[in-house]
């Protein structure tokens, strides 16, 4: 029994920003009904399928039930309204105004379910010149300063994160906000409308250190001049490692580990502030010394001095790394038709109500008959809906 057992979520979201948020709710015990178009959402068609489901769709939608529904039909709209009547959470990530035009405005659903948590995820928010624009992750990276933060240290050329970071930051933000709204409802009985935008989620995510130069209006500075401080990748004789010394104690340990004890009392590096302002020179010296060692040897010396450090792992090495295997951080689950499936363990470990990967991602329309039956449609009514192509059922 997860912490959200008993919570029912109607999920109209597509791609990543919404689906990963609702997948997290499913891991935590919520019943998530994913409502898709008859042809299935776009993510189903990106990448080669395995047992009818591609890997990206699986990882965004595990543990959910699938209902393939024609929302342009009168009966299809009636089915969704019945679902909304019973739901605790209703989540959609269409462009602002689209859900209203579809006939499912928050005000309309509130009349049939006043305690509903209605969630609207958008790219840019509901106001402003970009509010109605189509959006994907790279656009948010461009507008949030991500490409400036990631810019090449030597040439200054902007670069993007090589993952869809904006979508996933939005997912984490949305899942947390939904949980908070459910907690508020538990105390007061009130439902509410949560509005989230990918752009604002990314700005909030980057702000603490990424936008440090903008925090105090009277002390603005160009953060690009110091952003290289965090780029702590060093080449050894055989691999790449990371190592960082922030405190005075760690810096002294670093100096001893690389065999340069005289740097401990060097005025350029003697204090945290001095090391910060002389970061380029500090990193240059550190890199020269670390390059003389094999990775295993220098890591052993750094660890002995309690200096934070690690080998840079390739993605396939993650599966066998001692730290990850010790905690079983990557789950290996056998699902019929899929064989062994690997998924990252839900990050929050509840000791009373554990989260878990409860089921694979659904095939399109896999749970249509079950969902309809739960809503009171008998076999004959289900057959009629299927024959009329109001729904698709995987029989």
Structure confidence by residue, pLDDT tens digits, 222-239? 877 666 555 689 999 999
Domain 8-206+328-392 shares a fold with domain 240-311: no
Cα-Cα end-to-end distance for the chain: 29
Find residue 35's DSSP bridge partners: 67
pLDDT of amino acid 314: 96
pTM for this prediction = 0.93
Whole-number pLDDT of residue 315: 95
pLDDT the model gives residue 209: 87
How does pLDDT run across 160-214, given as a tens digit for each residue?
A: 999 999 999 999 999 999 999 999 999 999 999 999 999 999 999 999 989 988 8
For CA atoms 179, 181, 183, 186, the dihedral sign is negative
CB-CB contact of 337 with 53 (8 Å): no
| Cα 293–Cα 298–Cα 300 angle in degrees, nearest 5 | 150
Give the residue among 376, 361, 381 at the shortest CA–CA distance from 52: 361
The pLDDT score that the predictor gives to residue 226 is 64
- pLDDT the model gives residue 163: 96
User: Domain 240-311 sits in which CATH superfamily?
Assistant: formyl-coa transferase, domain 3 (3.30.1540.10)
- Say which CATH class 8-206+328-392 falls into: alpha beta
User: Where exactly are the structural domains of the chain?
Assistant: 8-206+328-392, 240-311
Q: Which of 7, 29, 6, 9 is nearest to 19 (CA)?
A: 9
Helix boundaries (H) for 341-378:
368-374
For 124-148, what is the mean pLDDT? 96
Q: What is the pLDDT of residues 294-336, one digit of tens each?
A: 999 999 999 999 999 999 999 999 999 999 999 999 999 999 9
């Amino acid at each position: 029994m997860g912490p959200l057992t008993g919570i029912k979520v109607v999920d109209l979201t597509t791609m990543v920003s919404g689906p990963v948020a609702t997948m997290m709710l499913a891991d935590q015990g919520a019943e998530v009904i994913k409502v898709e178009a008859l042809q299935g959402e776009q993510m189903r068609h990106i990448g080669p399928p395995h047992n009818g489901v591609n890997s990206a769709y699986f990882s965004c939608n595990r543990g959910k039930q699938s209902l393939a529904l024609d929302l342009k039909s009168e009966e299809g709209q009636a089915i969704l309204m019945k679902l909304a009547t019973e739901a605790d959470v209703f989540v959609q990530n269409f462009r602002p105004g689209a859900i209203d035009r579809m006939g499912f405005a928050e005000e309309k659903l509130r009349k049939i379910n006043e305690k509903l948590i209605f969630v609207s995820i958008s790219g840019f928010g509901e106001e402003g010149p970009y509010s109605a624009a189509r959006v994907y992750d790279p656009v948010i990276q461009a507008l949030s300063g991500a490409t400036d933060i990631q810019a090449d240290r030597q040439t200054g050329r902007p670069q993007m994160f090589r993952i869809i970071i904006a979508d996933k930051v939005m997912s984490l933000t949305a899942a947390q906000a939904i949980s908070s709204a459910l907690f508020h409802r538990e105390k007061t009985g009130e439902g509410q409308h949560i509005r989230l935008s990918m752009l604002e989620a990314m700005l909030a995510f980057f702000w603490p250190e990424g936008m440090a130069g903008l925090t105090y209006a009277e002390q603005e500075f160009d953060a690009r001049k110091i952003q290289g401080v965090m780029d702590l990748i060093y080449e050894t004789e055989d691999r790449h490692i990371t190592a960082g010394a922030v405190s005075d104690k760690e810096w002294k340990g670093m100096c001893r580990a690389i065999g340069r004890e005289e740097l401990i009392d060097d005025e350029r590096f003697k204090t945290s502030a001095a090391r910060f302002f002389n970061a380029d020179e500090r990193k240059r010296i550190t890199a020269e010394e670390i390059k003389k060692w094999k990775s295993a040897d220098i890591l052993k010396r750094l660890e002995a001095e309690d200096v934070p450090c690690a080998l840079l792992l390739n993605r396939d090495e993650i599966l066998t790394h001692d730290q990850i295997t010790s905690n079983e951080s990557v789950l290996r689950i056998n699902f019929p038709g899929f064989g062994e499936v690997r998924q990252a363990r839900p990050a929050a470990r509840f000791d009373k109500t554990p989260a878990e990967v409860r089921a694979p991602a659904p095939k399109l329309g896999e749970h249509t008959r079950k969902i309809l039956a739960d809503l009171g449609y008998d076999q004959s009514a289900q057959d009629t809906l299927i024959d009329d192509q109001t729904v698709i059922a995987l029989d």
